[in-house]
Amino acid sequence: MDWKLSTAHEIAAALRAGEVTSAELTDEAITRIEQEDKEINAICVPDFDRARAAARGADQARARGEDRPLLGIPVTVKESYDVAGLPTTWGMPQYRNHMPAEDAVQVSRLKAAGAVVLGKTNVPFGLQDVQTFNEIYGTTNNPWDHRRTSGGSSGGSAAALASGFGALSIGSDLAGSLRTPAHFCGVYAHKPTLGLAAMRGMVPPPTQALPVEPDLAVVGPMARSARDLTLLLDVMAGPDPLTLGVAYDVTLPPARHERLGDFRVLVLDEHPFLPTGSAVRAGVNRVADALADGGARVERHSPLLPDPAEAALIYTQLLFSGSVARFPVEAYEELRTRAARLSADDRSLDAARLRGMVFSHRDWIEANTRRELHRHGWRQFFAEFDAVVCPITPTPAFPHDHGPDPRERRLDIDGVEYPYFDQLVWAGLATMPGLPATAVPAGRSPEGLPVGVQLIGPMYEDRTPLRLAELLEPRIGGFQAPPD
């Protein structure tokens, strides 16, 4: 049997039944990568010798009667995670020889659960792009159309999953970096609640891997099925054993509902700062129709929804205040000079980006206070609703654009150009308040490209959007393999 596109649950069942061994699965996956990844370039750091040894060890453990959640299942890891003995560069050439001595906490959890790590997946420079390319490892192409991006920054992981290079992958998300590649490549991803999964060892080189939880950013699972996301999230969830993990264990509450007809869902397909392209709008409506057909209560408007325009401005300021924190003093002073020229009436996203880059601590505290008001608004919202369905970005995967200054790039939405970074506002809807969001495939565009949507759920109730994704999967098609 060809296990190329099997889910992790299917593989686990076959391993338990003795239908296949981990060694066989791993050899098959390695052969596939060696033969097919030249065109995709998803696996940037192979670790095949250790993978084969881990697979043999998994088979021996199973023979002894052991059974762990991921025992013997081949997986990949985003390049930005520390793996002892492998380089962690974040795509930055000056760190091409940076070799951590310890595994990231999430890599340790994968291995403890029995997973077989095939290698690392490609990322953009510094993880700071909606595309995946860098000077060290080159460009990762979209498996559906090699002329287009696989997304970023977890673009290598999404492309690997769509291509059948492992059953699961782990990535990270600050500005849609799990959700956007999943949307572009037609796979599943879950951005957990802020702080749910420990991030130690997922830091830019040469930063020491300390147990620090950065603002906005999370780590999370990617898969080819909604059910597999839950399997991997259960491995990843929990505080760092060096900090809160000393005192606390995590027990996620069950999903609010088990039947599709019991869900109360708000559907959004337009944002005040930019339009939604027709292909993505069709995907959102496809999901809305599936919900209605399943008996769910579907609304298109609610006065309880926190203001998405204000949310986008707060998110943009918080995001970009962190992105330039380590800029050289000269560059920072130049930004301050530019920001001082802005009109007080300028409420554009470009202005918010520039203001955020030069935030004082006082400015950040004010923005954070407004964020807390939005979190309060979301708590009130989720007393009446269970989930929000909305776009991840306004378009399917776009053609590669490696222009050196991202501020000069433009995103084409149905023939009209918009600033490149404006597309982040949909990702920010969940990221700014720290809400969980599950990316699900929702069909294809007229050009045959994957289209995904996100299901946003209540804070620390990650099983709710994950269960909704699982219930929707047979109704909207789920993962489909790219054309050969």
The pair of structure tokens assigned to 117 is 């790590």
In the numeric block, which tokens belong to residue 56? Answer: 């043999």
Instruction: Kindly state the DSSP code that residue 348 receives in the 8-state scheme.
Output: S
Q: Six-digit token pair at 81?
A: 């995670």
- Could you tell me the CA-to-CA distances from 299 to 145, 158, 394, 459 in Å, in that order? 35, 31, 21, 21
Contact 322, 431 (CB under 8 A): no
Between the two ends of the chain, the Cα-to-Cα distance in Å is: 18
Catalytic residue among 6, 108, 153, 154: 153
The strand pairing partners of 76, in sequence order, are 169
Q: Judge residue 339's burial from the number of C-beta atoms within 10 Å of its C-beta, 0-12 exposed, 13-18 middle, 19 or more buried.
A: middle
**CA–CA separation, 280 and 288 (whole Å):** 12
What's the Cα-to-Cα distance from 60 to each of 57, 128, 168, 449, rounded to whole Å? 5, 41, 22, 42
Q: Among the options 6, 78, 80, 150, which is catalytic?
A: 78
Query: Out of 169, 177, 225, 321, which one is annotated catalytic?
Result: 177
**Residue 130, CA distances (Å) to 150, 336, 353, 424 in order:** 9, 26, 16, 9
Could you tell me which residues come within 8 angstroms of residue 238 by beta carbon, excluding any fewer than 6 positions away?
Answer: 196, 197, 198, 245, 249, 250
**How far is Cα 429 from Cα 374, in angstroms, rounded to an integer?**
10
Smallest CA-to-CA distance from 316 within 417, 426, 459 is with 426
Instruction: Identify which of 323, 37, 294, 40 has the alpha carbon closest to the alpha carbon of residue 181.
Output: 40
Half-sphere exposure of 425 (CA within 13 A, CB side): 28
Tokens 């290698």 belong to which residue?
119
Q: Identify whether 153 is a catalytic site residue.
A: yes
Give residue 191's Cα distance to chain centre. Answer: 6
Per DSSP, 331 falls in state H
Angle of CA points 108, 113, 119, to nearest 5°: 60
| Residues contacting residue 332 through CB under 8 Å, at least 6 positions apart | 324, 357, 358
Tokens of 240: 């760092």
Is the N-terminal amide bond of 360 cis, ω within 30° of 0? Answer: no
Instruction: Identify the burial level of 324 via C-beta atoms within 10 angstroms of its C-beta, where 0-12 means exposed, 13-18 middle and 19 or more buried.
Output: middle
The set of catalytic residues is 78, 153, 177
